[in-house]
């Protein structure tokens, strides 16, 4: 198998598309962040699905950034580092929510609920356990997500390599994200849809752009005999 930069970049585009689709699909299907839900099958399914999304999203965003690393400049670098860090943090959080919290739910429901409250839980049977530095992960995650996505979207728009409409949609999605806190989880999740659509769009833009570039040498090649004939 011949691995080329073009193929890896196209693969990154596919990863971004898949991550965006999963991000959209999981919003209305994810159970409430409450200790009573963590042992349900839906919680496990959504957890594994989100783990896949976070890994695919990191690969996709990395490919999107590397394709235009020079054009996006320092703004793009900062945006990528922040947004990429959000995917890394999300992976750790979802791992804990999916594999660690369910066994603890019966023995330490207040601890589990306190952990869930950090990332949008309802409080349920009590979220009053002091988790120390873990308690700051919610605000940190929010800043990495919104600020990182906002800066990266602006940098992509300014670079003009990939779809500017997709970059603008990413910026709009990040601007709207703070409104999600005003609504309950079931309604607030709708504000994540523009971000998911932007990831799908950017991923497709990256994939199609690389596909066109890969096809150009093949369509532009001429045989040596033909070149000699034309030269005579």
**Is 179 buried (19+), middle (13-18) or exposed (0-12) by CB count in 10 A?**
exposed
**pLDDT tens string 125-168:** 445 666 777 778 888 999 999 999 999 999 999 999 999 999 99
Residues whose CB falls within 8 Å of the CB of residue 176, separated by 6 or more in sequence, listed in order: 191, 194
Share of the chain above pLDDT 90, in %: 51
**Is 8 buried (19+), middle (13-18) or exposed (0-12) by CB count in 10 A?**
middle
What is the Cα Rg of the chain in Å?
21
DSSP conformational letter for 153: H
Q: What integer pLDDT is reported at residue 216 of this predicted model?
A: 66
**For the ranges 86-90, 110-114, 216-220, the one whose mean pLDDT is highest:** 86-90
Going by pLDDT thresholds of 50, 70 and 90, the confidence category of residue 122 is very low
Which pTM does this prediction carry? Answer: 0.84
**pLDDT tens string 25-61:** 988 888 888 888 888 889 999 999 999 999 999 999 9
Q: State how far the Cα of 23 lies from the Cα of 49, in Å rounded to an integer.
A: 9
Mean pLDDT in residue range 202-214 = 85
Angle between helices 41-67 and 193-220 (to 10 degrees): 50
Going by pLDDT thresholds of 50, 70 and 90, the confidence category of residue 74 is very high
Which candidate, 59, 62, 58, places its Cα nearest to that of 72?
62
Q: Taking all residues of the chain, what is their mean pLDDT, rounded to a whole number?
A: 84
What the block records as the tokens of 155 is: 């940098």
**pLDDT tens string 77-111:** 999 999 999 999 999 999 989 998 888 888 888 88
Going by pLDDT thresholds of 50, 70 and 90, the confidence category of residue 112 is confident
């Amino acid at each position: 198998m011949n691995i080329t930069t073009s193929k890896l970049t196209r693969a990154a585009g596919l990863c971004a598309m898949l991550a965006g689709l999963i991000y959209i699909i999981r919003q209305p299907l994810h159970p409430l962040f409450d200790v009573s839900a963590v042992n349900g099958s839906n919680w496990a399914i959504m957890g594994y699905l989100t783990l896949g999304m976070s890994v695919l999203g990191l690969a996709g965003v990395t490919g999107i950034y590397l394709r235009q690393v020079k054009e996006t400049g320092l703004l793009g670098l900062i945006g990528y580092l922040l947004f990429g860090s959000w995917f890394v943090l999300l992976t750790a959080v979802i791992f804990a929510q999916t594999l660690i919290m369910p066994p603890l739910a019966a023995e330490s429901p207040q601890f589990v609920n306190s952990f869930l409250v950090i990332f949008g839980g309802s409080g349920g049977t009590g979220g009053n356990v002091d988790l120390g530095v873990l308690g700051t992960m919610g605000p940190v995650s929010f800043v990495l997500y919104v600020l990182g996505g906002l800066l990266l979207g602006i940098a992509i728009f300014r670079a003009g390599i990939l779809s500017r409409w997709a970059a603008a949609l990413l910026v709009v999605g990040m601007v709207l994200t703070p409104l999600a806190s005003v609504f309950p989880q079931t309604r607030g999740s709708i504000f994540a849809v523009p971000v998911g659509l932007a990831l799908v769009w950017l991923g497709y833009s990256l994939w199609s752009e690389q596909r066109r570039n890969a096809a150009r040498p093949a369509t532009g090649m001429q045989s040596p005999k033909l070149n000699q004939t034309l030269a005579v």
